[in-house]
């Protein structure tokens, strides 16, 4: 099975939120929180938070394309954040919270560009989608504190107010794609 896995690297705000969402999706084998798209090697969360590394808080997903398509992953990605806000998701502001698809192949680039154009033309959003579609260059895992943050219960207030609504949206809009243990 592992030889057929593909990789997707996405940024759409706080990686705690995005990790919690994709951990619940069928066909996702692993989700790692980290940083992508910047120039600094091996940045820490503190360095990225300062806003001068060029990195975005990101997740890197390993997925089984026989169970979930890259297109469905992107549908979930766009549905669980606001892709029309530049360098901001909710209260999180700065370049590190921008919306980005880091494609790993020409096929991923094609799918991302087609879906973005289709979604932009759909009228779902009053403002244009600002999600960047850029080639994957690097990914650095976040420190242990950030892994499985939602499940850890470290900040129940944050999780209840910020992450839970995104998970509820996933359960409502993508119920068929949610792992049975999370239904």
β-strands 132-135, 139-141 pairing:
unpaired
Rounded distance between C-alpha atoms, residue 178 and residue 24, angstroms: 6
Residue 53 contacts residue 43 (beta carbons within 8 Å): yes
User: Cα(123)–Cα(126) distance, rounded to whole angstroms?
Assistant: 7
**Whole-number Cα distances in Å, 172 to 14, 169, 175:** 21, 5, 6
Nearest to 83 by CA among 43, 128, 117, 47: 128
User: CB–CB of 131/11 below 8 Å?
Assistant: no
The single residue of 14, 20, 25, 159 carrying the catalytic annotation is: 14
Point out which residues pair with 63 in neighbouring strands: 6, 28
Does the annotation count 159 as an active-site position? Answer: no
Cβ pair 70, 108 in contact under 8 A: yes
Catalytic residues: 14
């Amino acid at each position: 099975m592992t030889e057929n896995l593909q990789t997707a690297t996405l940024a759409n705000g706080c990686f705690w939120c995005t990790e919690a969402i994709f951990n619940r999706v069928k066909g996702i084998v692993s989700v790692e929180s980290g940083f992508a798209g910047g120039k600094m090697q091996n940045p820490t969360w503190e360095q990225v938070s300062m806003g001068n590394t060029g990195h975005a808080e990101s997740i890197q997903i390993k997925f089984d394309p026989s169970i979930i398509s890259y297109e469905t992953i992107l549908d979930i990605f766009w549905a669980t954040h606001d892709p029309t806000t530049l360098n901001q998701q909710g209260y999180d502001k700065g370049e590190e919270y921008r919306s980005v698809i880091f494609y790993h192949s020409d096929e991923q680039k094609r799918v991302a560009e087609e879906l973005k154009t289709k979604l932009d033309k759909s009228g779902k959003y009053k403002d244009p989608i600002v999600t960047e579609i850029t080639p994957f260059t690097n990914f650095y895992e976040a420190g242990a504190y950030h892994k499985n943050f939602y499940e850890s219960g470290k900040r129940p207030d944050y999780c209840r107010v910020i992450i839970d609504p995104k998970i509820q949206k996933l359960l409502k809009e993508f119920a068929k794609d949610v792992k049975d243990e999370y239904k």
